[in-house]
Amino acid sequence: MLKKTLSFYTKYFAIWVVAFGVVAYVWPGPFVALKSYMNWFFALTMFGIGAVLEVADFKRI
């Protein structure tokens, strides 16, 4: 269940980020109230990036 959920989440993550960025740029009004949560959204973004990493990605470092 968790693997299936994370697979769906990571498969469309980049599309979600770009789509919400464009919507927030075009219609900023509804998103102004979310400004105080920006650190949490950044943390969620970092989690999403970390969720797609594999052990092989760390071997290159």
pLDDT 10s digits, 6-58: 888 888 988 988 998 999 999 999 889 888 999 998 999 899 888 888 888 88
Tokens of 41: 């959204």
Extents of the domains making up the chain: 2-59
d(CA 14, CA 38): 18
- Which amino acid, residue 61? I
pTM passes above 0.95: no
Taking the CA atoms of the chain, what radius of gyration do you get in angstroms? 14
